Amino acid sequence: MTRADLLALTPDALAALANRGLVKRATKDLDAGQGPEVGVDGDGAVHGVFPDGTRAALPPGAGLEAATCSCAATSLCRHRICLVLAYQRTAATESGTETGTETGAEPAAAWSPGAFDDEALARVLGQRAVTAARRAFRAGYTARIHRPSGDDPVARVELPSCTVRFLVPDELGYVDTDAAAAVRGEVVVLAAWAFRAADAQGADGADVRVEVGGGPGRAAGDGTGLEAALDLAGQVLMEGAAHAGPVLAAALRRTGADLAARDLHWPAAAVDELARQLDAHRERRADYAPERLAALLAELHARDRAASAPPGSGVPRSYVLGTEESADTPLRRVRLTALGCRVGGTAESRTADVYLAHADTVLVLRRHWAVPEGAPLTGADVAGRRVLGVGLRALAAANVVSESATRSASRVVRVSAGRVARTTVTPLGEAWASLPPALLVRDLEAHEREMDAWPPRLVRPRVEAETVRVVEIAEVRDIGYHPGAQRLEAVIADAAGATAVLSAEYAPHRPAALDVLAAALADGPRFVSGAVRRERGGLVVDPFAVLASGGPVVPDLMPGDGTAELAAPPAPAPDPLGAVLDTALAACAEIAHRGLRHLPPGLNDRVARAGDDLARTGLHAAAGTLARLAAALTGDDPRAAVRAWADACVRLTVTAELR
């Protein structure tokens, strides 16, 4: 009897179920003639006896976790892995095929984990796992489905707090997940149900997002739960940041806490950030920006409108509101690849965000320090501070293996303080070159097409590092510094000649970053990591690290005073469309800053002129929203003015993003 499940296990799948070291050791033993004598029983059980007398067995209808071995190992051992490899070689010899070729197993693309019924899930994973999963199902959750394909034969589900991979078709015994053992069964059930929902909806694309479970729907007039937040946002818009007092900011914080308690996590985060913007203006802090204030107000209106849409008519409600966000998920042994660091903060505190690639996602490890009075505490000052047992500069360009990590749905990762000894940090090496295609951008045009399919930023989940990628560089062109904006820009090209703009801004807590970045870009860089966004009709990368000929460079953590001479940039290409959008958005931001009740003379005319300019460039829908806003500003209906402002700002923000 041929065991198709064992024949379908590739070396990568075995490494996922155990670890790559065990697979290499087992392969070496087998090549050296130290493999087992393989036998197969009539029921499909595979057993083997090794030269030293060790006995291992692989029972039928179960995965590697059910395998037994007479050695002293308490978990998967090299003997069990070696028995799988030996069985594969024996089967290949008997069938006359080479090891690793097709052996008659069903094509990976011909199956779906949604085919597992609840009885099968309970039989393999336990009834407790199914019961726990039903609680999450009743609340509703969003999942991203990756169906098997020729390039990637593994069925995969990205849940809010972990990833689940079905390594062998039609077998539940060979499922890999980064969730810890305590919740493994539950997340596998949720992943299978996500495929089931996608199958029922006819969502047969290779990469689709589905909303699973939740209530039967909302009755007419139920609302979205954002009514109190929208009322406060309206008050902010009426008074403006320039006139809003501390009472309004405190009310926003209370409302944000209430939204979070009701699992409306993404609008709660927007409300909290809105309160911080008001605090920043009142305290005259540099992190206040009228454009950011306007974007937050527009985001709350956009999320409310998207969540109000009938089910199935747009972006899933749980995706917009964050209701699927779960508690922190403990991870089993994980390998993380550092992608650099961003240093930020305020006059009172300093933050360092280390970006870590994990499977197809990017996680953020965050550290905070208080700024001593009278001391600047720059990125270079915190670069030597120990995080996970090593200096921050070393960690930001390293490989990390941990058994004590916890991941949140917003992709923040933490390591238990008392278990740092179970975390190892090694040099980065060539790890960036082997990142999965979801994180490594080799074709800029293909990545731009992928971003075109994303929902607008105003309604996407507020997860950390959503757009962080590593971009392979074939050529660097036109490095230049804009002194007025204090911004360094360079044009980078991929192997096909497609380009993106690398854009980094000066900040006093990372004074040498632009100088170091310019030197790294002149040193034959192979890769750059950073946040990729769409802007000015193309891709713009905010860089975190550069892999140059001399190794990885993390500009934010390097010493220096920022006094190097930087070349001037070439003359920018004319961008009339971008100019009129920027002018219109600036007018909206000015209204949010000053307040509808305190508008200066002439601002209404400025809005009308911006609308005329939009119409002349062909953006008639956006121009119409500004015309209605200009009319509302001269009326006596405050609610109508708030609605008109929201219509205009949402439309302009999405247009600028998707242009």
**What pLDDT is stored for residue 420 in this prediction?**
46
The per-residue pLDDT for range 383-416, each reduced to its tens digit, is 999 998 899 999 999 999 887 888 876 788 888 7
| Distance separating alpha carbons of residues 564 and 560, to the nearest angstrom | 9
* 622, 659 Cβ separation under 8 angstroms: no
* 571 DSSP 8-state letter: P
* 343, 382 Cβ separation under 8 angstroms: yes
**What pLDDT is stored for residue 573 in this prediction?**
73
Q: Using the Cα atoms of residue 244, residue 248, residue 252 and residue 257 in order, give the sign of their dihedral.
A: positive
What is the pTM assigned to this prediction?
A: 0.73
Q: What residues in the chain have per-residue pLDDT under 50?
A: 99-108, 216-221, 327, 419-421
Which amino acid type is present at position 435? L
Written in H, E and C, the secondary structure of 98-153 is CCCCCCCCCCHHHCCHHHCCHHHHHHHHCHHHHHHHHHHHHHCEEEEEECCCCCCC
**What pLDDT is stored for residue 315 in this prediction?**
72
**What pLDDT is stored for residue 201 in this prediction?**
87
The per-residue pLDDT for range 103-137, each reduced to its tens digit, is 444 444 568 999 999 999 998 899 999 998 988 88
The count of other CB atoms within 10 Å of the CB of residue 410 is 21
**What pLDDT is stored for residue 100 in this prediction?**
46
| Distance separating alpha carbons of residues 653 and 298, to the nearest angstrom | 8
The count of other CB atoms within 10 Å of the CB of residue 495 is 12
